[in-house]
Amino acid sequence: MPTYTAQLTTTASADEAFAYLAQFDNTQQWDPGVSSAHPLTDGPPALGSRYAVTVELGGGPEELIYEITEYDPPRRVVLVASGSKFVSHDEISVTPHDSGSAVAYVAELKLKGLWKVGGPFAGKALQQAGDAAVEGLARELARLGA
């Protein structure tokens, strides 16, 4: 199962970072692989909130429906996404750190059907996409903490 793990520190407070990350349609602002993102449920993020996120893959766009399956503000949010090619399990943890916060992001992909054959290649693609996303996330969180 391809897995991506990243950690970063930011000047954004834990509350600011968590609120920004839990509002998962914000991924369009920080993840260059996301072409569109919008909420499917009304109100602020909560257990059961859903988001439609379109990612650009080598074979074209893939719409994923993310759902918050665990919600422990301002510390941890877990989202599970399902698409036609894979299921993604994303865990985001935020802790206070110095004058800001530390963010840990873990994404695990479970490939579906014939896509399972590409597992070794998917890991490399996930690493590249994840690194670009974390770079964008660090930039956006720095703006929050400025």
pLDDT in tens, 42-55: 999 999 999 999 99
More confident residue, 146 or 12: 12
pLDDT surpassing 60 at residue 133: yes
pTM for the full predicted model: 0.88
Query: What would the two tokens of residue 124 be?
Result: 């490399």
- Helix, strand, or coil here: 46? coil
- pLDDT tens track for 84-118: 878 899 999 999 999 899 999 999 988 775 454 45
More confident residue, 144 or 7: 7
Q: How far apart are CA 96 and CA 72, in angstroms?
A: 15
Q: How far apart are CA 67 and CA 89, in angstroms?
A: 10
